[in-house]
């Protein structure tokens, strides 16, 4: 089988937007190369399960995202659509950087198997471990295992923004809580919430493919009795209130969410927001505070930040 590699040169800030563009165009999988992530390798070796030595030799200072597509008659149109969507990135107040889109052919009869080497069991919180289904892993006491495989929408749950959300969920979820997961992607945060003790978790995404994948993962991880996956736009399809609302999206969408989040949050509940590039932390914090939310915690990982807020004024 012949595969076409579509390579996009962009910025760390625009990585998640570009990955969404590629997946929505039909990419069967992605590889993300970001020198800003690679630069942490020498100082924090424990974060890495596998690293390709060639990545350390890259001369490009921005992020490179590679999407893989099966060869097809309409691929030229798909690539043009990708280029058009990349050009629109600045309209989302994001820096697209170079924005260059190039293609190359890859001959590989079993391409999907070749990138399994990148995925090993990884502990992303104090308890939560992400494990590919084909890997053996000896569970330690108190650990919680979530099975996620690559090649599906929006990654495997080991991105820095997801890791920060998981760590905050571990701190703030209590037995019998209700959780809303806004922009669920593969459903990893919803699954984690259920395994941490939430009895009612609603996972929402505006992408039908993500909803389908999240539903499969919910079943695979044995939490379909407490997790509902729904198609819809942010909070438009939710009734009631939650003890915890988590949104791993982008800064500008979190600012929009902050306008309404109080209506869906219990008085003593928390709003966990991630996917915030460091340059936009102050903007998001300001938006939360202007809408009656008090930031009670901030953690940073790589180029990303995660804010935890609750209902209240900053002087309380």
User: Is the confidence at residue 288, as pLDDT, over 80?
Assistant: yes
pLDDT tens-digit readout, 248-257: 988 888 999 9
Mean pLDDT of 83-91: 89
pLDDT tens-digit readout, 114-154: 556 667 788 889 999 999 888 888 889 899 999 986 544 44
Q: Bigger pLDDT: 149 or 198?
A: 198
Say yes or no: domain 120-311 is CATH 3.40.50.150: yes
pLDDT at 157: 61
CATH 3.40.50.150 boundaries in the chain: 120-311
Band (161; pLDDT cuts 50, 70, 90): confident
pLDDT tens-digit readout, 42-63: 444 444 444 455 544 556 678 8
Percent of the chain with pLDDT over 70: 84
Mean pLDDT of 66-71: 84
Mean pLDDT of 155-175: 86
Give the integer Cα–Cα distance in Å for 65 and 8. Answer: 5
Q: Bigger pLDDT: 164 or 47?
A: 164
pLDDT tens-digit readout, 112-122: 555 566 677 88
User: Is the confidence at residue 38, as pLDDT, over 60?
Assistant: no
- Lowest-confidence range among 23-37, 64-78, 159-173? 23-37
Percent of the chain with pLDDT over 90: 41
CATH 3.30.70.260 boundaries in the chain: 2-117
pLDDT at 153: 41
Mean pLDDT of 93-108: 84
The fold for domain 2-117 equals: Alpha-Beta Plaits (3.30.70)
């Amino acid at each position: 089988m012949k595969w076409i590699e579509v390579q996009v040169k962009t910025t760390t800030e625009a990585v998640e937007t570009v990955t969404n563009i590629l997946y929505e165009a039909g990419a069967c999988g992605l590889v993300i190369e970001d020198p800003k992530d690679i630069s942490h390798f020498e100082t924090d070796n424990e974060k890495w399960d596998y690293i390709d030595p060639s990545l350390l030799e890259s001369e490009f200072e921005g992020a490179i995202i590679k999407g893989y597509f099966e060869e097809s008659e309409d691929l030229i149109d798909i690539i043009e659509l990708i280029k058009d969507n990349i050009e629109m990135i600045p309209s989302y107040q994001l820096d697209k950087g170079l924005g260059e889109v190039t293609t190359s052919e890859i001959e590989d009869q079993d391409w999907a198997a070749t990138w399994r080497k990148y995925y090993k069991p990884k502990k992303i919180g104090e308890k939560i471990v992400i494990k590919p289904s084909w890997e053996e892993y000896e569970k330690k006491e108190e650990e919680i295992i979530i099975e996620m495989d690559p090649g599906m929408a929006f990654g495997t749950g080991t991105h820095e923004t997801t890791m920060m959300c998981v760590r905050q969920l571990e701190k703030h979820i209590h037995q019998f809580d209700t959780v809303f997961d806004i922009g669920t992607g593969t459903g990893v945060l919803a699954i984690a919430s259920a395994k941490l003790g939430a009895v009612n978790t609603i996972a929402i995404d505006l992408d039908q493919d993500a909803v389908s994948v999240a539903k499969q993962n919910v079943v695979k991880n044995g939490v379909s009795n407490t997790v509902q996956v729904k198609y819809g736009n942010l909070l438009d399809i939710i009734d009631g209130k939650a003890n915890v609302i988590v949104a791993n999206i982008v800064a500008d969408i979190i600012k929009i969410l902050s306008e309404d989040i109080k209506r869906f949050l219990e008085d003593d509940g928390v709003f966990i927001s991630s996917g915030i590039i460091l340059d936009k932390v102050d903007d998001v914090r300001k938006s939360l505070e202007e809408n009656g939310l008090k930031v009670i915690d901030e953690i940073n990982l790589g180029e990303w930040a995660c804010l935890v807020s609750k209902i209240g004024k900053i002087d309380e």
